[in-house]
Amino acid sequence: MSKRGLVTKTRTILDEIYDAWRDHDLERLASYLPDEFSHVIHIPQDVHPLGGMCHGKKAALERLSLIFTQFDSLGLDPSEVVIDPDRAAVEIQIHCRHKETGRSLESVKTNFWTLEAGWPVSLAEYYDIAGFRAFMSAVETNPLS
């Protein structure tokens, strides 16, 4: 496959992954990930216990399921996407609501994908740690927004 064809394929796959993520559709999301998928959320566990590395599609999807039980996704809008044959970087505007407290968070995260033949094999997510820490602290100390 040509480089251009591979980039187009990857863009389509990532668009479909983000649609599934936005819809909290884990079954559809799973269809794009290999069994040996790895996922790291670069948030210290003292800020949120679900931060860190997950090895394997099953573990990654179980963690996402836990996140989906805590947060409603009000917006997940990939704004900047850069794709190379073996990697992709995506800047995403996020807007979520903590289900228990109703508090909202609007922020930006960056996803770095590692790809093989256009398919994702790993994902590293980076967040505004200071903003996320302040949000989680507000959720814990003053649950009403």
Tens of pLDDT, residue by residue over 36-91, are 999 999 999 999 999 999 999 999 999 999 999 999 989 999 988 999 989 999 99
The token pair that represents 64 in the structure block: 């996402």
Asked if pLDDT for residue 145 goes beyond 50, the answer is no
Q: How far apart are CA 90 and CA 112, in angstroms?
A: 7
Q: Render 44-67 in DSSP notation, one character per residue.
A: -TTT-TT-EEEESHHHHHHHHHHH
Contact 39, 53 (CB under 8 A): yes
The predicted structure's pLDDT at residue 99: 93
Contact 113, 17 (CB under 8 A): no
Asked if pLDDT for residue 100 goes beyond 60, the answer is yes
- What mean pLDDT is reported for the chain? 92
Any idea where the domains of the chain sit in the sequence? 3-141
CB atoms within 10 A of CB 89: 14
> 3-141 — its CATH code?
3.10.450.50
Asked if pLDDT for residue 143 goes beyond 80, the answer is no
Q: How far apart are CA 129 and CA 44, in angstroms?
A: 8
SS3 content of the chain, % helix, strand, coil (to 5): 35, 40, 25
